């Protein structure tokens, strides 16, 4: 009798044990319930956000299920941790398809202050009005030089203010009240860089010599003589965006740059961002992000683009265009090549006549792809070779509609010569960025036919760029700035860029969304009201359409089972509160790949967790929430 019952009992025990093990293996690690979870699971180019749920289950790095409280809580196992959202709004993580984190992190005083001490090199910051900078700059410069050891770098950043309100007046100082002669006299034995709060810098002779020494004979091979030294640099010390070559290759050591960027990735998650995108302009930047990724320390995802215009001649070689095209889309889930701009960024040239002859004279030689100029012919050949080899255009700054015409001409011709079908061209999802003064209405059907995606930086309107365009080109041009309504109605996906260093300001990602929705500048004036869009449309630009730009839509951009657990928790409902109140929204938590990357103290206390993230740990505003 004992033997007769022993086998069945053993089978029952094994079955029960297997069932418990299976339950433990399939039960979620985390459950978030009792919330308003806006999934954005409808990717179509319309204003329908799709499903809104109450709860979400997370297993490992991915979303296991989304549904009602009852459905999701029933999945809990003995080791599942559950968190009550108490009605808070959950959104998919935001994307920034064109930013410059590697440029902005080095002027974030919280980050730089954490990483760099006076024993490394000297860092000083201004974030006040131009009048205060003029008053105090000589004293701060002299103090910094006195503190520096011989040969040590001195960096002074003159930022644009907590509301990003002093840009024009600060930039007017560079080369005038703050000039190379002043820096040479004050620091004959130290390289000095004075960095603007966006782009722009003034350097002294020692700084120029240090960077020349770094590049050495390679400088003779650079096709474009403006990089990294414009023609008048020896005389004026003034430069635009070439601070990258100073900072990323010379001033910061590789370990320092790596840590600055690691902290910067974490900082951006405090805005609800889970994915960023940018061209990487230097080997130093590529090395730093690659090292962070290899160590599993990427706090957010990063889609990077090739951009090395000093050696655009590389793309005249039959090997490199094919090699770079083959790298498109390759990388990890946190760092991958998204495309490239092999020649030069498109520029501010327009088909519009301008409001004065002076306007057109300024843009006379500005088209990067002008078929009638020698430089334009070279740029066209380089882009043609890359596209014909199968490359994807992405990360391209644009400043006007005419260069966009030229760009599409090249895409069409190179694709045709490569024997691509229209479906194959569309599958590339060629993209151009900024929507600075494009597309004009006549370009929209062509963009759609090519299957292109367009990115735009709404802060152009916020900071006063629309007013400048109005003065130079009139009312019609204002309608061409960030024309999201036109793109929406045409069925063209468009994504959100930040493209400004908001880390040292009080601005947030919600200011970016607000400017696109309302078309208001920082003073409340509306520009191009016919191009306003709804919050729903702007949210899709910020999430799922940004993932399409990054070619990650199967893994991110919406809150669906099987996708990465990339989302944020807000203290207010972005979709229902008064529009002006959206500027006050706080991001309480951001998760990337199932790991909390940003958590403010109040929410941490409520859930019994530790606060985390650079904005919290380095003393940013979120540390007080």
Note the pLDDT of residue 138: 98
Averaged over 356-362, what is the pLDDT?
Answer: 90
pLDDT at 617 over 80: yes
Give the phi and the psi of residue 509 in degrees, each rounded to 5: -65, -25
Q: What is the pLDDT of residue 364?
A: 73
What integer is the mean pLDDT of 202-220?
95
Q: What is the band of 499 on the pLDDT scale with cuts at 50, 70, 90? A: very high
The verdict on whether omega for the bond into residue 270 sits within 30 degrees of 0, i.e. cis, is no
The whole-number pLDDT of residue 48 equals 99
For residue 539, the model assigns a pLDDT of: 99
Q: 346 vs 283, which has greater pLDDT?
A: 283
C-alpha Rg value of the chain to the nearest Å: 26
CA atoms of 347 and 367, how far apart (whole Å): 5
Per-residue pLDDT tens digits for 148-162: 999 999 999 999 999
Is the pLDDT reported for residue 250 higher than 60? Answer: yes
Q: Tens digits of per-residue pLDDT, 406-464? A: 999 999 999 999 999 999 999 999 999 999 999 999 999 999 999 999 999 999 999 99
* pLDDT computed for residue 534 by the predictor: 99
Tally of CB atoms within 10 A around 580: 11
Question: How is 137-203 classified by DSSP, letter by letter?
Answer: HHHHHHHHHHHSPTT--EEEEE---TTS--HHHHHTTBTTTB-HHHHHHH-TTS-EEEEESSS-EEE
pLDDT, tens digit (0-9, with 9 covering 90-100), for 106-129: 999 999 999 999 999 999 999 999
In contact, 306 and 339? CB cutoff 8 Å: yes
DSSP one-letter code for 250: I
3-state helix vs strand vs coil in the chain, percent to 5: 45, 15, 40
Give the residue-averaged pLDDT of 350-359.
Answer: 94
- Nearest alpha-carbon partner for 459 in 431, 439, 436: 436
Residues of the chain with CATH 3.20.20.140: 308-325+337-549
Report, as an integer, the average pLDDT of 49-58.
Answer: 99
* pLDDT cut 70: percent of the chain above it: 96
Distances (CA, A) of 470 to 125, 354, 363, 467: 34, 10, 16, 5
> How confident is residue 225, by pLDDT bands cut at 50, 70 and 90?
low
Share of the chain above pLDDT 90, in %: 90
pLDDT in tens, 6-33: 444 443 333 333 333 443 469 999 999 9
For 560-570, the pLDDT digits (tens) are: 999 999 999 99
Type and span of the H or E element at 22: helix 2-26
Coil, helix or strand at residue 507: coil
What phi and psi, each to the nearest 5 degrees, are found at residue 490?
-90, -5
DSSP type of residue 251: I
CATH architecture of 308-325+337-549: Alpha-Beta Barrel (3.20)
Taking the C-alpha atoms of residue 614 and residue 271, their distance in angstroms, rounded to an integer, is 11
567-597 residue pLDDT tens: 999 999 999 999 999 999 999 999 999 999 9
Residue range 505-520, pLDDT digits in tens: 999 999 999 999 999 9
- Relative orientation angle of helices 509-518 and 535-542, to the nearest 10 degrees: 130
Residue 226: what pLDDT?
63
Peptide bond into 439 cis (omega under 30): yes
Residue 623 has pLDDT above 90, yes or no: yes
Selection from 513, 536, 529 nearest residue 585 by Cα: 513
Residue 592 and residue 93 in contact, taking contact as beta carbons nearer than 8 Å: yes
**Is 76 in contact with 89 (CB distance < 8 Å)?**
no
What's the mean per-residue pLDDT of the chain? 95
Q: Please write the tens of the pLDDT for every residue from 298-351.
A: 999 999 999 998 899 999 999 999 999 999 999 999 999 999 999 988 888 999
Instruction: Report which of 619, 595, 618, 614 is spatially closest to residue 271, judged by C-alpha positions.
Output: 614
């Amino acid at each position: 009798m004992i033997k007769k019952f022993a086998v069945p009992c053993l089978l029952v025990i094994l079955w029960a044990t297997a069932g418990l093990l299976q339950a433990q293996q399939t039960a979620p690690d985390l459950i978030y319930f009792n919330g308003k979870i806006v999934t954005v699971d409808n990717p179509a180019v319309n204003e329908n956000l799709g499903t809104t749920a109450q709860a979400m289950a997370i297993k490992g790095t991915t979303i296991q299920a989304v549904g009602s409280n009852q459905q999701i809580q029933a999945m809990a196992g003995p080791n599942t941790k559950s968190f009550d959202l108490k009605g808070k709004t959950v959104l998919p993580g935001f994307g920034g398809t064109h930013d410059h984190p590697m440029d902005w992190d080095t002027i974030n005083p919280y980050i730089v202050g954490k990483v760099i001490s006076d024993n490394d090199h000297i860092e000083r910051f201004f974030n006040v009005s131009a009048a205060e900078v003029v008053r105090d700059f000589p004293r701060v410069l002299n103090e910094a030089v006195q503190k520096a050891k011989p040969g040590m770098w001195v960096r002074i950043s003159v930022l644009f203010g907590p509301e990003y309100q002093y840009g024009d007046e600060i930039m007017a100082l560079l080369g005038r009240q703050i000039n190379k002669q002043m820096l040479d006299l004050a620091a004959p034995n130290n390289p000095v860089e004075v960095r603007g709060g966006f782009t722009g810098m003034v350097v002294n002779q020692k700084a120029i010599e240090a960077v020349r020494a770094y590049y050495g004979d390679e400088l003779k091979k650079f096709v474009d003589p403006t990089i990294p030294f414009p023609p008048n640099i020896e005389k004026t010390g003034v430069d635009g965006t070439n601070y990258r070559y100073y900072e990323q290759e010379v001033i910061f050591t590789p370990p320092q740059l790596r840590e600055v960027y690691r902290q910067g990735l974490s900082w951006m998650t405090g805005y609800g961002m889970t994915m960023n995108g940018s061209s990487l302009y230097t080997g130093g930047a590529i090395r730093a992000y690659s090292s962070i990724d290899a160590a599993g320390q990427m706090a957010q995802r990063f889609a990077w683009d090739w951009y090395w215009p000093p050696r655009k001649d590389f793309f005249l070689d039959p090997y490199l265009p094919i090699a770079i095209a083959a790298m498109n889309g390759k990388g990890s889930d946190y760092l991958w090549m998204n495309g490239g701009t092999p020649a030069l960024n498109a520029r501010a040239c327009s088909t519009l006549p301008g409001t004065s002859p002076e306007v057109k004279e300024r843009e006379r030689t500005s088209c990067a792809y002008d078929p009638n100029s020698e430089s334009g012919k070279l740029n066209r050949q380089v882009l043609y070779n890359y596209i014909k080899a199968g490359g994807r255009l992405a990360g391209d700054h644009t400043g006007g509609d005419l260069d966009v015409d030229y760009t599409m001409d090249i895409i069409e011709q190179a694709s045709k010569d490569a024997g691509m079908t229209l479906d194959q061209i569309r599958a590339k999802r060629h993209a151009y960025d900024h929507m600075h003064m494009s597309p004009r209405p006549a370009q929209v059907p062509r963009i759609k036919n090519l299957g292109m995606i367009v990115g735009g930086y709404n802060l152009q309107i916020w900071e006063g760029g629309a007013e400048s365009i109005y003065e130079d080109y009139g009312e019609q041009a204002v309608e061409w700035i960030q024309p999201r309504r036109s793109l929406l109605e045409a069925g063209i996906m468009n994504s959100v860029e930040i493209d400004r260093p908001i880390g040292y300001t009080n601005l947030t990602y919600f200011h970016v969304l607000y400017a696109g929705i309302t078309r208001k500048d920082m003073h409340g004036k509306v520009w191009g009201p016919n191009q306003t869009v709804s919050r729903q449309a702007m949210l899709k630009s910020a999430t799922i359409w940004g993932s399409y730009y990054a070619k990650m839509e199967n893994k991110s951009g919406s809150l669906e089972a099987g996708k990465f657990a990339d989302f944020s928790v807000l203290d207010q409902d972005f979709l229902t509160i008064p529009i002006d109140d959206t500027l006050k929204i706080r991001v309480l938590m951001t998760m990337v790949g199932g790991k909390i990357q940003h958590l403010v103290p109040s929410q941490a206390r409520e859930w019994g967790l530790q606060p985390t993230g650079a904005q919290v740990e380095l003393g940013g505003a979120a540390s007080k929430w």
